[in-house]
Amino acid sequence: MLLKLKIWRQKRGQKKGSFENYEMDHLSPDMSFLEMLDQLNEDLVGQKKVPVAFDHDCREGICGSCSLVINGNPHGPHAGSAVCQLHLRSFKDKEEIWIEPFRAKAFPVLQDLIVDRSAFDRIIQSGAYVSVNTGQAPEAHSILVEKAKAEEAFSHAACIGCGACVAVCKNASASLFVAAKVSHLALLPQGKVEKKARVLKMVKQMEKEGFGACTNTGACSRACPKEISLHSIARMNREYFKSIF
């Protein structure tokens, strides 16, 4: 198959970039989207040109490195999957595809399709953990967790920290990311002790990083490769209000 690519190119250190056109032919529909970019880069290197820089690593939808917006959708057209899990069979022959980096004030573009998501690390750093030193833990079975609660906590803990929620949000809000962590730990007995301080610190850091506010459109949850539920944001708000009163 043939695809017409329009890819965002931005040199390191420059504030602005632009779209460039590339045409790829003789592609197999079984190829993954990132394998197509590999192919494009091999071709560019062959022509002694600078290849397109993009973040990627595990290619199994779990490391959260990939950060592409495809035809306006973070991670492409499918729900519940990351770009690395996208295959060319999802596109039509001769289709035009626009490829951009995740865009948000708090995620500055570094080079081509690579953005800086260190703001997420700083939010985690502010308090997204249970404060337990190595060796201080009690016997595991002394902490009982209701099965349904464990499952629910897991569904929030599944966040891969990719930032698609921010990229898709009209306000560039990081609420789903923060709420997923807040909910994961607030649901478990281990996380209860610090839950008030945790939610306050994380929300404060989120605001400091320049993420926008949440207006509950739910776009984040739809773009999330792990389909993290919007309920987490409701829980975060509840935890937040419980903490300030």
x/- track of binding to another protein for residues 134-173 (CB under 8 A): xxxxxxxx-xxxxx--xx-xx--xx-xx------------
List b or e across 9-35, with b for residues whose CB sees 16 or more CB atoms inside 10 angstroms: bbeeeeeebeeeebebeebeeebbbbb
The minimum distance between CB 215 and another protein, in angstroms, equals 27
Structure tokens at 36: 């197509």
CB proximity list for 74: less than 8 A, separation 6 or greater: 67, 68, 102, 164, 167, 168, 223
Whether the CB-CB separation of 36 and 88 falls below 8 Å is answered with: yes
The minimum distance between CB 245 and another protein, in angstroms, equals 25
Whether the CB-CB separation of 9 and 17 falls below 8 Å is answered with: yes
CB proximity list for 196: less than 8 A, separation 6 or greater: 239, 242, 243
The minimum distance between CB 217 and another protein, in angstroms, equals 26
The minimum distance between CB 175 and another protein, in angstroms, equals 19
Q: Which is nearer to another protein, 45 or 213 (CB)?
A: 45
Residue 135: burial class (beta carbons within 10 Å; 0-12, 13-18, 19+): exposed
48-87 residues near another protein, rule: CB under 8 A: 48-51, 53, 55-65, 80-81, 85, 87
Q: Which is nearer to another protein, 21 or 136 (CB)?
A: 136
x/- track of binding to another protein for residues 102-121 (CB under 8 A): --------xx--x-xxx-xx
The minimum distance between CB 125 and another protein, in angstroms, equals 4
The minimum distance between CB 206 and another protein, in angstroms, equals 15
Q: Which is nearer to another protein, 49 or 216 (CB)?
A: 49
13-42 residues near another protein, rule: CB under 8 A: 13, 28, 30-32, 34-35, 38-39, 41-42
Q: In terms of DSSP H, where are the helices of the chain? A: 33-46, 118-125, 147-157, 164-168, 175-187, 189-192, 195-208, 219-223, 231-244
Q: How many residues bind another protein (CB under 8 A)?
A: 81
x/- track of binding to another protein for residues 182-221 (CB under 8 A): --xx--x-xx------------------------------
